Amino acid sequence: DAGVIQSPRHEVTEMGQEVTLRCKPISGHDYLFWYRQTMMRGLELLIYFNNNVPIDDSGMPEDRFSAKMPNASFSTLKIQPSEPRDSAVYFCATLLGAEQYFGPGTRLTVT
């Protein structure tokens, strides 16, 4: 298995632009998580899905952020419009039983 796949690995965009981050989970893993990592705030859980259904989005910082999981093989995290303070590494992770697996992350820079 290729593990959790995220794309793009790096994204540089200008303030105000829309950004879409993508995640392909490990097949058969029924939970999917989106995290954000910054120096100031550490690792934060943004949202998680169970069987493609959003369960808890209380970590989503504001309405500019949205996440979808249209099927078991794909999830997106969208920021519209982006702001410089959104610059961070965004990780997607999946869970099967008690084991969580992280993707390689997307490093987002908003200028």
Partner 1 sequence: ELKVEQNPLFLSMQEGKNYTIYCNYSTTSDRLYWYRQDPGKSLESLFVLLSNGAVKQEGRLMASLDTKARLSTLHITAAVHDLSATYFCAVGNNDMRFGAGTRLTVKP
Binding positions for partner 1, rule: CB under 8 A? 31, 33, 42-45, 48, 50, 55-56, 91, 93, 95, 98-105
Output the six-digit token pair for 65.
């952020």
Q: Name the residue nearer to partner 1 (CB basis): 57 or 68.
A: 57
Q: Shortest distance, CB of residue 52 to partner 1, whole angstroms?
A: 15
Q: Name the residue nearer to partner 1 (CB basis): 81 or 87.
A: 87
Alpha carbons 35 and 103: distance in angstroms, whole number = 10
Q: Name the residue nearer to partner 1 (CB basis): 48 or 86.
A: 48
Output the six-digit token pair for 56.
């808890």
